[in-house]
Structure 1
Amino acid sequence: MVKAELVVEVTDHAALEQAALDDIDATPFRAPAGHSVADVRAEARQDVQGDPAGAVAWLVHVDDVIADVPGVVVVDSTQQVFDGESIPAAVPAAPDFATLFPLCRCGKGDCTACSGYQLTPRTSMILWAVAQILADQAYDDVNEHGDAPVIEEGEWSLLASYPRITWRQDAVWRRQAARAFDDLTGDLEAGRIPTPTCPGEEMALHLILRAGQDAHQDGWGVAPSDLARLPSHPDDYDWDITSEVLLEDDDILNLFDAQLDGVEDPDSEYNRSTGMGDYRPAVWFRPFPEATPRDGRRPFRR
């Protein structure tokens, strides 16, 4: 088996964008209920305009590169396009998010799905992709630094973006932090709303949501053409509402406030007055009292 990686340099941005737009105009689209083909096509055009990475993602398909090569069969493929100096790790082929997170469009007044927020296939796909990228960055930090404390933030891929109270945790703790991203990824792959079961997963979900918004705005993590193939919905990429629905509160973010030193301790004055709870690093991977614990025998991916 041969594994190949394709690296390209964009030499004519205008020509690339025009080629992508021409291909979009020639592509037959299917519109979901309540939307027109023109709407879907316009969204696809918007994804490539001013975005070379998006244009390449639309035009280049891995399977087509060797389609006419005799004696070669593509057994699996993963495609991501990034711009910038830092290229995140690739993620595997995506599940069928349209099936995992079906959209309700019945419009009935008593329908709880239609009247409330829906985690859409497109939003789910972005969250799934960035969760794996962040997990790999955390595992990379463990492999690179082990038990060493965070001192120079620029030397770390992810864990330096955690609250300072975690910066001297050991490699075992850090591997659990990395696995928290994988656990939330597993929720999405099972068609479940990603729900934190412990403080470590709560922190991970905050970072996933932040990265998801950045990925959507900057065009990395998921190829725009892959998102365009999923049904659209008004709730797509509504990151504020998504955060409100997926996260019970923002208490863990208090750990970033230097003026609230010691707030992680449930016996601290601020913690007691707000009912924040225990956020000391030693308990970050203990299940919340109301949560269903995850299987303690589940392995680490790396």
Structure 2
Amino acid sequence: MSALYTGLCLVADGVALDTDDRGDMPVGADHRIEWRALDAFPPASWRQGARWRRRLAARGKHLIRTLEVGGGLVAECVVDYLVHHLAIDRARDEIYGARSDPDHPSHHIPAHPADFLWHRLPYSSPLGDHDALCYAPNHIAMLHRSYRATIDRPEQWFDPIVPPATLITEGGASRADESN
């Protein structure tokens, strides 16, 4: 499995564990609490309840299953888009940690064909920097419109994006580009 797979697992499992441990507690309500994943999502989501958070974790698990069966990652909704970004950040952390430390638990994970691209990103890059490396150019504007239109309304983050945006696969083309 790749570092991207590990990143997706860390995000999905982190959201699930945050939800199991804290239920409906708003993120940031107690500054002494350390969150595994929910605090990395936009602040508009921090007051969402356990039901919404379980849906978020389920979308992460869906992305993991898609990767496990060899499918390409597709942003079918804003949640997928946000999970992709957080997973890339977590994967980048895994890559840097694993490659620099032979005792790192992820040192044995084989590289994903796109792993080499992430070193080009600034550590705290805005979403657009990720997009230029991860999504086909014809999908970026549509993703940004969906993101901007719903960023303050997390209840709409699960609404379908039409057409869904496909992450770039090995060779630099998305499945959507290959069909054109």
TM bin (shorter chain): 0.5 to 0.7
The alpha-carbon deviation at position 147 of structure 1 amounts to 1.0
* Correspondence 1:194-205 to 2 at 5 A: 194-205=73-84
Match for 1:178 among 52, 57, 68?
57
* Correspondence 1:1-302 to 2 at 5 A: 94=1, 125-150=2-27, 151-152=29-30, 154-219=33-98, 220=104, 222-224=106-108, 226-227=109-110, 236-239=115-118, 240=120, 243-247=131-135, 248-249=139-140, 276-279=148-151, 280-291=153-164
Please tell me whether the aligned partners of residues 199 and 284 of structure 1 are also in contact (alpha carbons under 8 angstroms).
Answer: yes
The alpha-carbon deviation at position 221 of structure 1 amounts to 5.9
Q: CA RMSD in A?
A: 3.2
Please tell me whether the aligned partners of residues 213 and 237 of structure 1 are also in contact (alpha carbons under 8 angstroms).
Answer: no
- Aligned-partner SS, 1:155: coil
With over 3 angstroms needed to count, the CA separation of the structure-2 counterparts of 1:221 and 1:186, relative to structure 1, is farther
Provide the residue aligned with 2:173 in structure 1.
none
Q: Distance in 1 between matches of 2:18 and 2:161?
A: 26
With over 3 angstroms needed to count, the CA separation of the structure-2 counterparts of 1:275 and 1:144, relative to structure 1, is closer
The alpha-carbon deviation at position 236 of structure 1 amounts to 4.3
**Which amino acid in structure 1 is aligned with residue 51 of structure 2?**
V
Please tell me whether the aligned partners of residues 10 and 87 of structure 2 are also in contact (alpha carbons under 8 angstroms).
Answer: no
Q: Distance in 1 between matches of 2:131 and 2:94?
A: 15
Sequence identity (%):
24
Please tell me whether the aligned partners of residues 131 and 140 of structure 2 are also in contact (alpha carbons under 8 angstroms).
Answer: no
With over 3 angstroms needed to count, the CA separation of the structure-2 counterparts of 1:209 and 1:250, relative to structure 1, is farther
Unaligned runs of 5+ in 2: 99-103, 122-129, 166-180
- Aligned-partner SS, 1:188: helix
Deviations 1:4-47 (A, max 9, x none): xxxxxxxxxxxxxxxxxxxxxxxxxxxxxxxxxxxxxxxxxxxx
Unaligned runs of 5+ in 1: 1-93, 95-124, 254-270, 293-302
- Aligned-partner SS, 1:203: helix
With over 3 angstroms needed to count, the CA separation of the structure-2 counterparts of 1:275 and 1:281, relative to structure 1, is closer
Q: Distance in 2 between matches of 1:142 and 1:179?
A: 12
TM-score, with normalisation over the residues of structure 1?
0.42
Structure showing greater relative contact order (alpha-carbon pairs closer than 8 Å, 6 or more residues apart): 2
By percentage of residues, which structure has more strand? 2
The number of residues matched between the two structures is: 145
Q: Distance in 2 between matches of 1:202 and 1:137?
A: 17
Which stretch has the larger CA shift, 237-246 or 199-208?
237-246
The alpha-carbon deviation at position 245 of structure 1 amounts to 4.4
Please tell me whether the aligned partners of residues 251 and 276 of structure 1 are also in contact (alpha carbons under 8 angstroms).
Answer: no
- For the pair shown, the structure with the greater C-alpha radius of gyration is 1
Deviations 1:76-133 (A, max 9, x none): xxxxxxxxxxxxxxxxxx4xxxxxxxxxxxxxxxxxxxxxxxxxxxxxx111122112
